[in-house]
Amino acid sequence: MKNWAIFTIPSLLILLSNCSDTGSYSQPILYNHKKHIEEAGLTCFDCHSLVMTHQKASIPNIEYCQNCHKEPMTNSKEEEKLVRYISNKERIPWVQVHRLPDHAYFSHRRHVTLGKIACQECHGDVSEMTLPFSRPAVVLKMKFCIQCHEKKRVNTDCATCHR
């Protein structure tokens, strides 16, 4: 019986730590959403352009950033990092923090375009963020999704999201 506990307890701890959605991640550039929204007049859809037409919203990379930042606009060390990524044609290694399990199907297009769900409902008030996401703004668990589906009176059948 001792052998079972020696194997099971550490395995369970590893499994639980890997399932945690409260982890904190470091991003390669201290991107300021607030500055880009207020000063440059950008919207979520300017950088996350696939959100209207695809399942995944996409994390913008140098293809988008180079439209304004091929040359530095400020003396910011963060912008200096960005310009270096662009000039080296190197992708920014952003860390995706909003994740759902593989067995859960989620389509940004369906929720944003058809369901008219505002980005803030799942991602928080991004317009006030002066630092990039280091953790999810909202814990994206099934309970959160079911509550939203019930509130908006849309299908809560298991097959709607679990494929």
* Per-residue pLDDT reduced to its tens digit, 57-88: 889 999 999 999 999 999 999 999 999 999 99
- Res 12: pLDDT: 40
Q: What is the distance, to the nearest Å, from the Cα of residue 133 to the centroid of all Cα atoms in its chain?
A: 7
Q: What mean pLDDT comes out for the span 39-48?
A: 94
Other Cβ atoms within 10 Å of 132 Cβ, number: 20
Let me know if residue 127 belongs to a domain.
yes
Which tokens go with 123? 């991602």
**pTM score, two decimals?**
0.78
Distance between CA atoms of residues 75 and 102, nearest Å: 41
Residue the block writes with tokens 């395995």: 11
Let me know if residue 50 belongs to a domain.
yes
- Res 3: pLDDT: 56
Q: Is the pLDDT of residue 137 over 80?
A: yes
Whole-number average pLDDT of the chain: 87
- Res 19: pLDDT: 40
- Res 163: pLDDT: 84
Q: Is the pLDDT of residue 145 over 60?
A: yes
Q: How many domains does the chain have?
A: 1
Per the model's pLDDT, the better-predicted residue between 87 and 15 turns out to be 87
Let me know if residue 12 belongs to a domain.
no
Let me know if residue 102 belongs to a domain.
yes
Let me know if residue 89 belongs to a domain.
no
Let me know if residue 79 belongs to a domain.
no
Confidence category of residue 18, pLDDT binned at 50, 70, 90: very low
Give me the domain span that covers residue 139.
24-59+94-161
- Res 94: pLDDT: 96
Let me know if residue 151 belongs to a domain.
yes
Let me know if residue 121 belongs to a domain.
yes
Distance between CA atoms of residues 156 and 143, nearest Å: 11
Residue the block writes with tokens 């307890």: 9
Distance between CA atoms of residues 107 and 105, nearest Å: 7
